[in-house]
Structure 1
Amino acid sequence: MHNAQTPNDNLLEEIVRHRDELRKSDRRVADVILDRPEEAVAMTLARLARASDVSEPTVIRFCNAIGCEGFRDLRVRLARSLAFARTTSHTAISDADDLAGIVTKIFDFNLSNLNWAQSRLDTARIGDAVDLLATATRIEFFGFGASGIVARDAQQKFPLFGVPCGAPSDAHQMFMTAGMLRPGDAAVAISNTGQTREVVAAMATAQERGAATVGITGQADSPLCRHCDVTLMVETLENTDIYTPTVSRLSHLVVIDILSTAVSLRRGEAHHDRVARMKTELARLRGTR
């Protein structure tokens, strides 16, 4: 009926948009989903077929017609549409909101986003990234703007492993740093769009120099992905409403925590002793020991 959708499309909107183009029997499936989306997302293939008064092959045909890769993909994308609808409808902030309402909405929006990001995170790829970072002799983190904040947060965590780390914030410093990397080093780029030119160029240079490259992004097949040995897709329920905060940064910070914790555990007892000594020194600095 039409080209396959991207994973970020709103499935409910797609069904509404293309309903009249569907076969009559397929429209029955569409109507059940549109009338009862909260129920439909939990239905089995057989149950949805019965509710629509069609055969199971007809449901599969409907899935293909709206660009889904089978029934499981239909349920996953329908769940995403519902999550986004709930999030945006209940957390869209207006100038009429009082302070208590703003507090509640921002917390709700961020919690929904983190739950969604967790459900879509590929733990196998996380493991691949940990493998690269655990053996790196030096790690550089690249990011601009909100992603630059994430890069600097990573720089604060990873040196605890006894590995030199950097997070250049200037484009020229980023290019020079990338150019000095060598085999055994690692570069980690953070970019939600995966299109920031300076970050993409720095990662291309790092890869040319033989460094292992890891990308943290929200966009598959972005320019950044082409220069990463491992790409960590962090999907978020980004809301473009003017008053709603960007949530990708928080999800990326959590991924950095996951990576740093996993690398820490991989480093073993020697690292644990180093961290214990570091905490002792910090306690002394704070006057608590």
Structure 2
Amino acid sequence: MTQDHSLVREPQQNLLEVIRTLRPELRKSDRKVADVVLDDPRLMLNDTVAELAARAEVSQPTVLRFCSAIGCSGYPDFKLRLAQSLALGMPATHSALEISDTPEQIIEKIFDYTLTSLDWARYHLDKTALSQAIDLLTAATRIDFFGFGASGIVARDGQQKFPLFGVPCAVEVDLHQQIMQASMMRQGEVCVIISNTGSTRSLMDVARTAKERGAAVLGLIGAVDAPLKGYCDVVLVVETLENTSIYTPMTSRIAALVVIDILSTAVALRRDSNEEHQKAFIAMKQRLNEARFG
């Protein structure tokens, strides 16, 4: 059986998500171990090899083979990475919300799902593309943010960070206004398109219009194979864990907000090498504190 081990070469990834993803490719006996682990992973923290083998009704060599198949160097490494994964929260497969859930269960599930999904997004973020995005925004003379729905909220947050970006920033969440704004963009400006699906036709029109006007296009997209990528100069794929529950919290929005924070902070740090910008930013913070506290 041929297995794709691209997921298991990164030890920082959440082990429970690695097991969930690789499970269909495992041998039948290894899948029995995977099912026991995923069913109640906290029980595994104190289990010996023999105890886990008994729970899964397999041999001890099968448990060791399972550890190797999911990218662990042995059983101790498996338990260590399992403990680290549990510290980050239970995976999405354990976080589906149900009508019968108590407030305590809702708290645990939403926090677990959000923490795990953010961790997943963190280690799947392309660092090279991130550096390119920072370069693009640092050189921008103006930045315009575009998005709909939850992505529109992220776009508004991006515009709120304009003191960090150090240049005029605007946000448009209305379709007609978006087309108008994109049509007025020019060379040296950056159009930031935020879309979790990356398939909204009108946002592709906005991106194409901005490019025709000479602006650079940065895409914050949640889907790896999104058609919107073809309209962007730089793409940041902000990938979160898929959860089909109808009550799923908007972790895609939270992950995108974190990326906006990363971008704005990184740009501010670069601009702070300019003494004039640094003085202006400090003065702005002082005035803001005076307005808040008198």
1:247 aligned onto 2:244: no
The residue identity in structure 1 corresponding to 2:251 is: V
Q: Distance in 1 between matches of 2:256 and 2:63?
A: 42
Q: Write the distance in 2 (CA, Å) between the matches of 1:213 and 1:32.
A: 49
State yes or no: 1:261 paired with 2:265.
yes
Deviations 1:188-227 (A, max 9, x none): 1110110111111101111111111110112123221001
Instruction: Indicate the SS of the match to 2:223.
Output: coil
Q: 1:12, 1:34 within 8 Å by CA — same for their partners in 2?
A: no
* Structure 1 counterpart of 2:241: 237
Residue by residue over 1:12-61, the C-alpha shift from the partner in whole angstroms, topping out at 9 and shown as x without a partner, is 4643xxxxxxxxxxxxx62354233469xxxxxxxx999669xx9xx9xx
Q: How many pairs are equivalent? A: 244
Structure 1 residues not aligned, in runs of 5+: 16-28, 40-47, 64-70, 73-78
Which residue of 2 is the match for residue 157 of structure 1?
161
Give yes or no for contact 1:138–1:184 (8 Å, CA) kept in 2. Answer: yes
Q: Deviations over 1:66-116 (max 9, x none)?
A: xxxxx89xxxxxx9xx99x95234321112112122112111111111111
Q: Which runs of 5+ in 2 are unaligned?
A: 8-16, 39-60, 73-80
Counterparts in 2 of 1:283 and 1:50: CA distance versus 1, 3 Å: closer
TM score, norm. by length of structure 1? 0.74
Alignment of 1:85-234 (within 5 A): 86-234=90-238
Matched-pair contact (CA < 8 Å) for 2:90–2:112: no
SS in 2 for 1:124: helix
> What is the letter of the counterpart of residue 36 of structure 1?
V
1:278 aligns with 2:278: no
Matches within 5 A, 1:40-119: 86-119=90-123
Task: Report the equivalent of 1:30.
Answer: 27
Distance 2:182 2:213 in 1: 8
Q: Is the 8 A contact 2:145 2:192 kept in 1?
A: yes
Q: Is the 8 A contact 2:129 2:235 kept in 1?
A: yes
The alignment-based identity, stated in percent, is 47
* Cα shift readout 1:106-143 (whole Å, capped 9, x = no counterpart): 11111111111001111111000000000100100110
Summarize the Cα distance change of 1:206–1:242 in structure 2 as closer, same or farther, 3 Å threshold.
same
| Contact 1:239-1:246 at 8 Å conserved across structures | no
Q: TM-score, normalised by structure 2?
A: 0.73
CA distance in 1, matches of 2:279, 2:165: 10
User: Residue 185 and residue 152 in structure 1: after superposition, are their counterparts in 2 closer, same or farther (change >3 A)?
Assistant: same
Please report how far the alpha carbon of residue 250 of structure 1 lies from its aligned counterpart in structure 2 after TM superposition. Answer: 0.3
RMSD after superposition: 3.4
